[in-house]
Structure 1
Amino acid sequence: MNTEQTRKRLVIGNWKMHGQLTGNASLLDGLRTGAPAVSGCDLSVCVPFPYLDQARASLQDSVISWGAQDVSTHEQGAFTGEVSAGMLADFACQWVLVGHSERRTLHGETDRLVAAKANAALQAGLTPVVCVGETLAEQEAGKTEDVIARQLAPVLALGAQQVGRMVLAYEPVWAIGTGRTATPEQAQAVHAYIRSQLTGLGVPEVRVLYGGSVKASNAASLFAMPDIDGALVGGASLVAEEFLRIAAA
């Protein structure tokens, strides 16, 4: 079986810490209205926790799904400020980002913690989008594959059954919010390496997204690569027309 043909494209918008109720309403309306024209691609937005109910109310009858940007490893308890996977499920979330580079860098999240968060999401019926990627220094030192292997190790250790229910996202740290984007060939090389790891585990069908200054102008060339199954979109997801143009690519 050609797994490339069975992997449906997926484009997820990561709003990061942006949004206000009024502006969100306009953005969500634009997405809901324009999304039916985009075919052959799953669409989702991962919004800040306070706006999950707004996203649900706006998108529940649309072709766009929604999710959160982080999750706790705990089900409940004395963990002030944390949000459990069960709580996300209450808001009908389908997705949750785990291990985004900003969480790893700014909050010190370890590879083991990221795997634990992914597992917690799965236990609640959510699909974790596990983010991996190297810094500029690591890339220039030729350590990209070593870094990816280290970050993936505790995730892959969860086993084929669990990993088969995930989505992975390669986001080179040096290309996030910088305007710099990995060339399609650079991105494909890393995606091919990730695919080899998934194939070794027996789950080559897992979708692998690219994230890092994805725009409508570069989306088509990235999506033309055989192992890039879609995109995790940051800033461009805050403009409905631009986000939909990326998906249409």
Structure 2
Amino acid sequence: MLETFSNYNPILQSLIAGLFTWGCTVLGSAFVFFFKTVNRKVLDVMSGFAAGVMIAASFWSLLAPSISYAEDNGYGVFSWVPAAIGFLLGGAFLRLTDAIIPHLHLGEPIENREGPETGASRNLLLFLAITIHNIPEGLAVGVAFGAAAHGLATENTLMSAIGLALGIGLQNIPEGSALSMPIRADGNSRWKAFNLGQLSAIVEPVAAVIGAAAVLSMQAILPYALAFAAGAMIFVVVEELIPESQTNGNSDIATIGLMVGFTVMMILDVALG
């Protein structure tokens, strides 16, 4: 099966990987059919775990290959430049997205919504918040598969890209339930909660295809694209996931969740890469 997958076009590989990560969100969202609410401590551990996965993926799967590619392609002592520029642009992109799209972070009252003024419902605002931070996850997957194609980045092998998709998919399972169950707890039907939960990740296969296509069509942007995805993910971690996990009296266990997530992603990347 792996040999067959390796023969696919990188864009198709990215689409399949993006569909996999979306499918993991579908699985997590389906928990709403079995539970009406989720314990706040569990939610905080989930957020911490997701943060750990994304931090580890940002370095091993994205920043390190960005620097390695620059070193191997004539950047010399300036091999840090693409990583630094791309990383900052990724964070700026997410900040801009936050500013122009109204959204509400999990656990926050609707009065704390961010972005432009809107009359959108709490459910829609929660949905938009999760959707925003799924965009860089999809981009990261696509860029990784694009980089792995034809040996564009020595540290980004196909197995490393698969490891990144597995790690992001793994943290998407609790993420899906973290959105669908609060929506259900607000009195909405299970189907509505499920659909909002799983649809929040439908952007991932789309972003994955865009990321792969960009890298394959413009090889020169590869180190910048890798770092861009890393910067966008770190912005999400610091601006959303860590604060969400640390403000409800569960900081210790949420931190342990982060460390476990980091370790799992590190093992996946090193073992498969």
Please give the TM-score of this superposition, normalised by the length of structure 2.
0.26
More strand by proportion, 1 or 2?
1
Q: Please identify which structure carries the higher helix content.
A: 2
Greater length-normalized contact order (CA 8 Å, ≥ 6 residues apart) = 2
**Larger radius of gyration, structure 1 or 2?**
2
